[in-house]
Structure 1
Amino acid sequence: MTDRMNVESFNLDHRTVVAPYVRLADAKALPAGDVIEKYDVRFTQPNVAHLEMPTVHSLEHLFAEHSRNHTDRVIDFSPMGCQTGFYLTLAGTWVYEDVLALVEATLQDVLGAQEVPAANEVQCGWGANHSLTGAQDAAREFLARRAEWSTVTA
């Protein structure tokens, strides 16, 4: 694979990464000077394991809602189609350790949640497709390996 592709993750050799991890995937300076950063928050080992869709869906809702209690700089938290992780998009330039602290604090919130926010047919396009237990199990496993989050490749 020698040609660079437009999508950053398509240029990442998924065979060399070691999940779980949090890595800066992209940073862009916008025309007005604002900066956005996109982080790859990888829960499972690519091509080896994945999160089930109700778990992905619930983590998306829980993280998107609770992360905003810790900062007003969250732009988006979106699932990867491969179901191995998420993209966390943040406004501004971040210190990496502060990103890790945000992820950690938010996943602690997930563990304490009593319900998945907006998991209903009024606020969600597939309100029945959720698993609070699955989301909490995935968060617990990710948090248990906190010391490994900074290591992206073996």
Structure 2
Amino acid sequence: MPQMNVESFNLDHRAVSAPYVRVADVKELPGGAVLTKYDIRFTQPNVAHLEMPVVHSLEHSVAEAVRDHADDVVDFSPMGCQTGFYLLRAAAPDLPGTMAVLADTLRAVTEQTEVPAANEVQCGWGASHSLEGAREAAAAMLAAREQWGQVMAEPGTDDPTTHATTHDDEGRP
């Protein structure tokens, strides 16, 4: 397949083993600032997905709570395929540090009693939320914390959800 401009389009989604957290892209901006984009995959691509009210509530909840744990967060946005999110940080790649921030954030989400800004004043579709779903998805992701550094299934395996290869601190095999 031809090389695509979007990094995730070059990732063989059949070969990953979700859940995981990986560095998806690093950009050095003029003046030396660095942006790092993390792929935070909750579900196995093409096998499972998060329902839209859950995605929406996780987006609101994590976007709000993550800023309590890191001051360099630029954005937290959902993937259209509903399998995960992108976290953009204005910092050099730090996969272990980002995983720690994400764990703290997800713990906060599991304890929420309401979805932040889930109303028609602060949200474009305030009725489309699921607090329970967001809490459950956050808890499931946290329960798989030991797997977050394993991105790709081992070559030659039929089921990418059962065998994985550990990646380095920048998310590379």
Range into which the TM-score falls when normalised by the shorter chain: over 0.9
Name the residue aligned to 1:60: 59
Q: Note if contact 2:60-2:117 (Cα within 8 Å) is conserved in structure 1.
A: yes
Name the residue aligned to 2:131: 132
TM-score by length of 2: 0.87
Name the residue aligned to 2:11: 12
Name the residue aligned to 1:96: 95
What are the ranges of 5 or more consecutive residues in structure 1 without an aligned counterpart?
none
Q: Note if contact 2:18-2:44 (Cα within 8 Å) is conserved in structure 1.
A: yes
Task: Look up the equivalent residue of 2:130 and give its one-letter code.
Answer: S
In the TM superposition, residue 71 of structure 1 has moved relative to its aligned partner by 1.3
Task: Look up the equivalent residue of 2:60 and give its one-letter code.
Answer: H
User: Is 2:112 the partner of 1:118?
Assistant: no
TM-score by length of 1: 0.98
Task: Look up the equivalent residue of 1:130 and give its one-letter code.
Answer: H
Structure 2 matches for 1:29-68, cutoff 5 A? 29-68=28-67
Task: Look up the equivalent residue of 1:127 and give its one-letter code.
Answer: G
CA distance in 2 between counterparts of 1:53 and 1:120 reads: 16
In the TM superposition, residue 112 of structure 1 has moved relative to its aligned partner by 0.7
Report % sequence identity.
64
Task: Look up the equivalent residue of 1:13 and give its one-letter code.
Answer: D
SS in 1 for 2:8: helix
SS in 2 for 1:54: helix
CA distance in 1 between counterparts of 2:69 and 2:58 reads: 16
How many residue pairs align between the two structures?
153
User: Is 2:74 the partner of 1:75?
Assistant: yes
Coordinate RMSD, CA, aligned: 0.6
SS in 2 for 1:4: coil
CA distance in 1 between counterparts of 2:94 and 2:48 reads: 30
CA distance in 1 between counterparts of 2:93 and 2:22 reads: 12
CA deviations on 1:62-95 (whole Å, 9 max, x unpaired) are 0000000111100000000000000000011142
CA distance in 2 between counterparts of 1:18 and 1:148 reads: 9
What are the ranges of 5 or more consecutive residues in structure 2 without an aligned counterpart?
154-173
CA distance in 1 between counterparts of 2:90 and 2:137 reads: 26
